[in-house]
Amino acid sequence: MAKLEQRAVAQNKKAWHDYFVEEAFEAGIELCGTEVKSVRLGKINLKDSWCDIESGEMFVNGMHISPYEKGNIFNKDPLRRRRILIHKREILRLYGIAKQQGLTLVPLKVYFKGAFVKLEIGLCKGKKQYDKRDDMARRDAKRETDRAMKEQNR
């Protein structure tokens, strides 16, 4: 069986800055037709989005999908709650882990897998300010060593 092509549409870079990602998993997302067309055009923003579990279903909040230009009356509210398509057993497992350990469910990436829109969700733990500074210092040090190695190889 041929492997389906994965084409990333949007990434939540702020989530990687603000959280430690403990575990990531894939889920489907329930969208209407004009929303899928907007996602294909890349008009999606995950910056301030989060996931919550309510009455046995998982929803994504704060995910902005711009209205499709040619969609007229069929366009939905850009910030509406969207249901995440995931097995009930997985939802209950994530709910238990999140409540017990004080973790957050954050959308990390939206991509196409074949013809389907998929959402990568991370089980995340919040970073403190000093953790963010440590990460920036580590990145800067790596960048400097890479530059030095590049200069040396010339």
The reply to whether 72 falls in a domain is yes
> pLDDT for 89-122, tens place per residue?
988 888 888 888 888 889 999 998 888 889 999 8
Residue 138 lies in a domain: no
Position 22 scores a pLDDT of 86
> Does residue 141 sit within a domain?
no
Domain around 15: 6-127
With respect to residue 122, please indicate whether it lies within any of the assigned structural domains. yes
CATH of the domain at 24: 2.40.280.10
Strands 116-126 and 104-113: antiparallel
Whether 154 maps to a domain, the answer reads no
Q: What is the pLDDT of residue 59?
A: 92
Whether residue 25 is contained in a domain is answered as: yes
User: Alpha helices, DSSP H only, in the chain?
Assistant: 13-18, 33-40, 88-101, 129-153
The answer to whether residue 117 sits within a structural domain is yes
Q: What is the pLDDT of residues 48-79, one digit of tens each?
A: 888 888 888 999 998 888 888 876 776 777 78
Whole-angstrom CA distances from 70 to 18, 44, 62, 82, 117 are 36, 16, 23, 21, 20
Confirm whether 112 is domain-assigned: yes
CA distance 119 to 121: 6
Q: Give me the residue label for tokens 């055009």.
A: 41
142 token code pair: 């790596």
Count the domains in the chain. Answer: 1
